[in-house]
Chains A and B, each alone.
Chain A
Amino acid sequence: MSSGQQSSRLLDPKVLSKLSGLYLVAKTVVEGFISGLHRSLYRGFSVEFAGHREYVAGDDLRYLDWKVFGRTDRTYIRVFREETNVKTHLLLDISRSMEYSSGPVSKKQYAIWLAACLSYLMISQKDAVGLVVFDTDIRRLVKPASTTSHLHHLLSNLEHLPGGTTTSLSSVLHLIASNIKRRSLIILISDLLDEPEEVIRGLVHFRHHHHEIIVFHILDPAELEFSFTGQFQFLDMETGERLDGDGLALRAGYQKAMANFLHRYQKQCAANNISYARAITRTPFDYFLYQYLSLRARTF
């Protein structure tokens, strides 16, 4: 097995569930991700010049040092030292619906791992990372920092999250948006089980403060497929409401409603220049790390 294949396997949530400790999970994921990542993407985003390195196929030609090429007839890429002025706020939804799981990993667990991995990656890139944990209100707030000890602090917070209640996503988003003044990267990790228009309005609030937003929409495969057959008494995990019905009978309508729900988010996010990524709890994490890095490279 190659190292690349091995690292890819380690990014699988099923494998990660066997690891103990968030730090270990985050380190395993990020290091594995980085080792397999194309070199050009994993670089600093600072404007301070750090030196040259030899061009390899696939490098961005924007960073090719044409002067050196003119003088030496050899291709070199300019490498810059990273800056730590990008602040990232991880907004983590811990409402009770996030605890739903049709497999070994719940949406909440997946969201925590994702937050941990992103934190690890960002801090390893010297970016400052903060954390806001919320359900109907803000339950925990960690201000952004970029030190290694801060990473441990973040991970410790993520490991010991309180139990959530119902969701009131839009109001919380408005609340957070009004408290973050400086231009930042906002990463929302949630199942977004609220009215899409309201949620989008909250996100747009961030856009008004010139924040960049990435939305990781956490979903369980069962929430998409709804492959239940037989008679069930469905129990709403947040409200406790009950509904009797046959899985098979409800499936088509459910899938249609869900597709509409997702489509509305996708469409609204695109309309408001918000990055939107659907995160199904069996999706390997490299996809999201790449998503982050891609946006980071494009924006900052």
Chain B
Amino acid sequence: MNFLQPVFLWALAGAGLPVLLHFLARKKAKPFPFSTLRFLKISQLTTGRLRKLEEFLILLLRVLVMMLLVLVLAGPVSRRAIGFLQEQLVVLVLDDSYSLRAGEPASPWQQTRQAALTVLASLRKPARVALIFTSGRTTGLTRNLEEVGQTIRDSQATFSSGHLQTALEQAQKILARRTGSRILFVFSDLQRYAWKDLSLPEAGREGISVVVVDTGQKETNNVGLKGLTLLPAQGLCQAEVVNWNQSPVTVEIQLQAGQVEKKSLTLPARESQTVQFKLSRSPGTLRVQLIRPDLLPEDNTYVLHLAPGENNRFLLVTGKQESSFYLETALAAFTAPAQLQVVSVDSLTRISLSDYQMVFLCNTGRWQPEAVRSLADYLREGGQLIVFAGEKDLPENFNSDWELREEKTFLMPARLEELVTFSRPAGVIWGENRHPFFAPFGDRLLEYLKTVTFHQVFRSTVLDGNVLLKLDRGLPLLLEGHYGAGSIILCPFLPDPAWTNLPRRPFFPVLVEIMMQTLTSGASPVVFPGQAIQAPAGTESLQAVSPDGLAETVSASGGAPIKFFPEKPGIWQFSFFRQGTTRTRTVAVNLDWREGDLTRQEPASLRECFPGARVKLIQAGNLERYLTGEVTSGDLSPVMLALLLILFLLQVAASNFLHQKKDRQEPLVSSFHGGSQ
């Protein structure tokens, strides 16, 4: 129980007034001569005890009446209601992910904003509020409710997926650090994608009330583009379309790349299909668009930017000339001599990696931290790296050298374990044939690889990458990872006959060419809205030009690398300024396709997301009524008042009873008056 006017609680000291009066009244007693005390002593031993008990009860009643009077004046409210009346700590988590834009202008976001303002309006001055958006924006804990309100009014739903998990963890941390009545409001459209894998730690959730305000809508009419993959080896690009509806839909899809190419397809309910278009090699923007009105129009478009690729340069870094012989031969077949440079590890520090579109590492051995950092910078800016691990790459050295200690990140997609030598040559048993590397082979990939065998490979532990090929016993043979805007392909073997017959098979030069074409297709890196674009080290300032043509400049401060978070989907142009030189980069910002799934999480399962907490799910439309109801039901004044009245009447009745008892006592004198023997 809490109080609206706790200052009145000081008056609780007045509850002791009846006790004080009781004792003061006792002190006032003066000596009263009486003939004998013998009967009084007997009385005190018998009825005196009962009377004392009665007196004590009346005193208790009077004290309770006084206490209740004070409590009523202090405005008692339940813990539940206090959250809406005088909550010390309220955290508002607003889901501002892209799905909240569905059906604009009457979107769930409008509901979210209105609901948050309604809650804010129900709070009173002493309350402290923290505002957290799932996109990452926060206001911190403040008592300035007007400022929070203004932030809510000024905010817009983003194009990003947001991180509900992170936002809730952050809210939980704020609430866990405090005691008393705490309440967490989560305003969300309950999109299943955001809620399904939510898992919050239990610590600090005790005593926290969670109110989930459902601002979503039932309609899920939406289709979207999952992505656009370039298949340069086939001269094609492939768009993947997904139907989020519960029924089949027919959509028209068009590719704009200089000229417009349209196709039509029918998509089964909640399934995706791919559509292939002829890939134009001319540089510029590649835009795929679905022609169909739905709730989220932005995810109907996917863009890529193609840069000129004639002057691509490749770098082969080798630790042992013999190990890279076959690779060098394969590369030389597809590149002009000026395009390929072969260097040793030692000379790498003298080379500017940014001059190369692709870097091959082959049996390189140990790496110095500075070299690793420069490779990381190269990757972050969109560089492509293919690594062949050989006998010089001892697993313990490999696993420690590629660790980016400052970022606590391992650059490679997998760690190497021990070298596995097969008594019988091992074959490839599985391949990701939808990957652009293998797309030209389609379902016949394994047939092409049937004669390829391996004598030894490194066993690897996959960290944050995709396995593209697997050997017998499930050993990863080809792994793909990403760092920044760049890609890393890790092969835990050497293209050497001592390791495998692959370099001697016709498949090898074809695969190398496809990989080179795919990785250096000239397509700009793709990021999701809200993902960071980090400027290269030493950049003094960054200029970002949005798809609308609006330019924004960010300068470096405090030595930290400049980061920019493009929001609007489309092609962004970045310029990095350093010591009078300017480097440009084009980035395609495309929506996270999973945001288009407007399927809602089952309300019943929400409680499982907050085990141990009191969870209440409220429809946004019912929020005001709920808040009013909470206040009304939580206001304990009427109960207290009724109790006060009852106790008061009880006290009066008890006092009267005792007085009447006194009056009822028959005077002995009348019965004894004439008594004689």
A280 and B38 alpha carbons, distance in the complex (Å): 19
Q: In the complex, A279 Cα to B549 Cα: how many Å?
A: 122
User: Shortest distance in angstroms between A90's beta carbon and chain B's nearest beta carbon?
Assistant: 18
**A283-B33 Cα distance, complex, nearest whole Å:** 23
State whether B40 touches A243 (Cβ < 8 A): yes
Within 8 Å by CB of B677, from A107, A254, A276, A287, lies A276
Contact with B31, one of A224, A242, A258, A261 (Cβ below 8 angstroms): A242
Contact B36 A193 (CB under 8 A): yes
Most chain A CB neighbours (cut-off 10 Å) among B30, B33, B37, B669: B669
Q: Is the CB of A250 within 8 A of B48?
A: yes
Cβ contacts A261-300/B at 8 Å (1 or 0 each)? 1100010011000111110100100010001000000000
Asked if A253 meets B47 with Cβ closer than 8 Å, knowing A100-B33, A237-B34, A244-B29, the reply is yes
User: Do A278 and B43 touch across chains, with their CB atoms under 8 A apart?
Assistant: no
Residues from chain A with Cβ under 8 Å of B26 in the complex: 231, 244
CB distance from A212 to the nearest CB of B (A): 13
The contact string, 1 if C-beta is below 8 Å from chain A, for chain B 445-476, is 00000000000000000000000000000000
Q: A278 contacts which chain B residues (CB < 8 A)? A: 672-673, 675-676
Q: Which A residues lie within 8 Å of B41 (CB)?
A: 243
Judge whether B580 is part of the interface by a CB distance below 8 angstroms. no
Bound-state Cα–Cα, A230 to B673, Å: 26
Q: Known contacts A221-B669, A249-B55: does B39 contact A257 (CB below 8 Å)?
A: yes
Pick the contact of A225: B34, B39, B42, B668 (CB < 8 A).
B668
Interface centre among B29, B36, B673 (most CB of A within 10 A): B36
Query: In chain B between 452 and 510, which residues have their CB closer than 8 angstroms to a CB of chain A?
Result: none
Per-position 1/0 for B6-48, Cβ under 8 A of A: 0000000000000000000110111111111111111111111
A256 pairs with B36, CB closer than 8 A: no
A219-257 toward B: CB 8 Å interface, digit per residue (1/0)? Answer: 111011101111111111111011111101111111111
Q: How many residue pairs at the A-B interface have CB separations less than 8 Å?
A: 142
Chain A residues with CB below 8 A from B44, complex form: 243, 245, 250, 253
Instruction: Say yes or no for A259: interface residue by CB 8 A criterion.
Output: yes
* Chain A residue at minimum C-beta to C-beta distance from B26: A231
Asked whether, in the complex, the Cβ of B40 is within 8 Å of the Cβ of A235, the reply is: no
When the two chains form their complex, are residues B46 and A253 in contact, meaning their CB atoms are under 8 A apart?
yes
**A97 at the B interface (CB under 8 A):** yes
Bound together, the chains give a CA A259 to CA B46 distance in angstroms of 15
Which of B25, B47, B672, B673 is the one whose CB lies under 8 Å from A252? Answer: B47
Q: How far is the CB of B674 from chain A (nearest CB, A)?
A: 8
Report if A191 contacts B (CB, 8 A). Answer: yes
Decide if B665 is an interface residue (CB 8 Å cutoff): yes
Asked if B669 contacts A280 (CB within 8 A), the reply is yes
A224 touches B32 (CB 8 A): no
List B contacts of A275 (CB < 8 A): 676-677
Q: Is B105 an interface residue (CB 8 A)?
A: no
Give bound CA distance, A244 to B25, whole Å: 12
B668 contacts A258, C-beta separation under 8 Å: yes
* A239 to B33 CA separation, bound complex (whole angstroms): 11
Interface residue count for B (Cβ, 8 Å)?
A: 39
CB contacts under 8 Å to B, within A164-198, are 191, 193
Asked whether B200 is an interface residue with its Cβ less than 8 Å from the other chain, the reply is no
Residues of A within 8 A of B667 (CB): 224-225, 227
Which of chain B's residues 363-415 have a Cβ closer than 8 Å to chain A? none
Judged by a CB distance under 8 angstroms, whether B52 is at the interface is: yes
Residues of A within 8 A of B33 (CB): 100, 235, 237
A224 touching B672, Cβ below 8 Å: yes
With A233-B29, A250-B43 as contacts: A193 and B673 at CB distance below 8 Å: no
Question: With a CB–CB cut-off of 8 A, which chain A residues contact B665?
Answer: 251-252, 255
A250 to B, closest residue via Cβ: B43
- A231 pairs with B675, CB closer than 8 A: no
> Is B51 part of the contact surface with A, judged by Cβ < 8 Å?
yes
B25: which A residues are within 8 A, CB to CB? 231
**Is the pair B47, A266 in contact by a Cβ cutoff of 8 Å?**
no
Chain B residue with the shortest CB-CB distance to A193 = B36
- List the A side residues contacting B658 at CB < 8 Å: 248
Q: Are A236 and B36 in contact (CB under 8 A)?
A: yes
- Cα-based distance from A283 to B26 in the complex (angstroms): 36
Closest partner residue, chain A, to B47 (CB atom)? A253
Is B43 a contact of A253 with CB atoms below 8 Å? yes
Is B662 an interface residue, CB under 8 A from the partner?
yes
B52 & A249 in contact (Cβ 8 Å cutoff):
yes
Q: Given that A227-B667, A262-B672, A291-B676 are known contacts, is A241 also in contact with B43, CB under 8 Å in the complex?
A: no
What residues of chain A lie closer than 8 Å to B672, measured between beta carbons?
219, 224, 262, 278, 280
A 95-113 to B, binary, CB cutoff 8 A, 1 in contact else 0: 0011010000001000000
A241 close to B39 (CB less than 8 A): no
Distance in Å: Cβ of A183 to nearest Cβ of chain B: 20
A238 touches B36 (CB 8 A): yes
CB-defined contacts of A241 to chain B, threshold 8 Å: 37
B34 to chain A, nearest CB (A): 5
Are B29 and A276 in touch, CB under 8 angstroms? Answer: no
**Given A224-B669, A231-B25, A258-B668: A249 touches B38 (CB 8 Å cut-off):** no
Q: Are A234's CB and B51's CB within 8 A?
A: no
Least distance between B109 CB and chain A CB atoms (Å): 73
Write out the residue numbers on chain A whose beta carbons fall within 8 Å of the beta carbon of B662.
Answer: 229, 248, 251
- Decide: B40 and A234 in contact? CB cutoff 8 A: yes
Q: How distant is B663 from chain A, measured CB to nearest CB, in Å?
A: 10
Give the distance in Å from the alpha carbon of A24 to the alpha carbon of B672 in the complex.
29
CA distance A190 to B153 in the complex (A): 98
Chain A nearest CB, measured from B204 CB (Å):
56
Nearest Cβ on chain B to A194's Cβ, whole angstroms: 10
Of the A-B pairs whose beta carbons lie under 8 Å apart in the complex, a sample of 6, sorted by A's number, is A100-B33, A232-B32, A234-B40, A258-B39, A276-B677, A278-B673
| 10 nearest A-B pairs in the assembled complex, by CB-CB distance | A253-B43, A253-B47, A249-B51, A276-B677, A100-B35, A257-B39, A257-B42, A224-B669, A231-B29, A97-B35
Could you list which residues of chain B lie within 8 angstroms of chain A, going by C-beta atoms? Answer: 25-26, 28-48, 51-52, 55, 658, 661-662, 665, 667-669, 672-677
Given A191-B35, A251-B665, A277-B675, 14 more A-B residue pairs with CB atoms under 8 Å apart are: A100-B34, A220-B35, A229-B662, A230-B29, A233-B30, A235-B32, A237-B33, A239-B37, A248-B51, A253-B48, A256-B46, A257-B38, A266-B677, A277-B677
